[in-house]
């Protein structure tokens, strides 16, 4: 026989209003550029998710039903969501690259640009763990970084006696560095606009995609455009950090980190880089 003290408190029944609030929170989370600080209702729903476990489970279930993974719910990031591969909300890199470039080779270079932005934004594991950390990158700086990585890979290939073109399906960075190194940095159209297929043009498109996705915020037009990371991007890169390609890029030693700051190694003077590359800088 149980006593009143033995009985666990029963949760209140879920009401249609609760379901509506949970769905509303998920809808806020799908607005990548919106933060709780800009919307009082969003702030209240985030607070409720953090303080009301039954409501949190309900909101997480709504997200799961839509094929979404809840990465974090906080004042700094809002409801940060990632779409599962089969979700209607999934924006696959392949879809992005097909919109950004018609040539298969260029699509591969777009992927390399995204990888480089992530590596420069968060070059250390502790950067991904520190919620107060802001990575800052520039379009010209990303291109400079990749070109230095290409030079380092070329040196490694020469030492290994393997300086022939790799197969098109070669793994990791090996199939990309030669293509990037040979591609024009900026190029120009007849009216002096940079070519979309130049490495600066490719990097610019990649960064614009990240801005539209709420992962980067533009801070100035310096160095082809300078940007800072958002909490959402930090959460996304935490998953990417485990990838072999990103580890390979960082292992090249192009981004040395010693005292908590990061920059690029001085470029070879013989290397053609964009003037005023605006190499990436970081701040807490």
Please give the Cα distance from 144 to 280 (Å, whole number). Answer: 10
User: What is the reported pLDDT for 242?
Assistant: 58
Helical H segments across 138-221, by residue range: 139-159, 174-182, 199-212
pLDDT tens figures, 14-41 = 899 999 999 999 999 999 889 999 999 9
User: What is the reported pLDDT for 28?
Assistant: 97
pTM above 0.75, yes or no: no
Which residues of the chain fall below pLDDT 50? 166-172, 190-192, 256-284
How far are the Cα atoms of 90, 106, 147, 151, 231 from residue 183, in angstroms, in the given order?
A: 31, 10, 10, 13, 33
User: What is the reported pLDDT for 198?
Assistant: 87
User: What is the reported pLDDT for 95?
Assistant: 59
Helical H segments across 52-196, by residue range: 53-65, 93-100, 104-121, 125-129, 139-159, 174-182
Enter the tokens of residue 174: 């090996």
Beta bridge partners of 281: 136
Domain ranges of the chain: 17-83, 93-252
């Amino acid at each position: 026989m149980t006593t009143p003290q033995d009985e666990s408190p029963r949760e209140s029944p879920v009401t249609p209003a609760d379901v509506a609030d949970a769905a509303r929170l998920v809808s806020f989370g799908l607005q990548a550029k919106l933060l709780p600080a800009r919307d009082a209702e969003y702030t209240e729903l985030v607070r409720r998710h953090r303080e009301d476990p039954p409501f949190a489970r309900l909101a997480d279930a709504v997200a799961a039903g839509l094929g979404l993974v809840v990465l974090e719910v906080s004042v700094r990031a809002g409801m940060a969501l990632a779409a599962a591969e089969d979700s209607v909300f999934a924006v696959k890199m392949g879809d992005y690259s097909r919109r950004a470039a018609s040539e298969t080779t260029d699509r591969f270079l777009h992927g390399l640009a995204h990888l480089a932005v992530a590596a420069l934004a968060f070059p250390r594991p502790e950067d991904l763990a520190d919620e107060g950390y802001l990575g800052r990158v520039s379009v010209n700086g990303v291109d400079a970084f990749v070109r230095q990585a290409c030079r380092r890979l070329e040196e490694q290939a020469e030492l290994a006696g393997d300086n022939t073109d790799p197969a098109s399906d070669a793994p990791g960075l090996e199939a990309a560095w030669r293509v990037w190194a040979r591609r024009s940095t900026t190029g120009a159209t007849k009216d002096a606009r940079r070519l979309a297929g130049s490495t600066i043009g490719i990097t610019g498109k990649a960064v614009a995609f990240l801005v539209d996705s709420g992962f980067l915020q533009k801070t100035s037009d310096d160095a082809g455009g300078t940007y800072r990371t958002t909490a959402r991007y930090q959460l996304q890169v935490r998953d990417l950090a485990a990838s072999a390609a990103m580890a390979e890029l960082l292992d090249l030693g192009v981004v040395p980190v010693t005292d908590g700051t990061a920059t690029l190694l001085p470029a070879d003077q013989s290397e053609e880089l964009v003037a005023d590359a605006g190499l990436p800088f970081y701040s807490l």
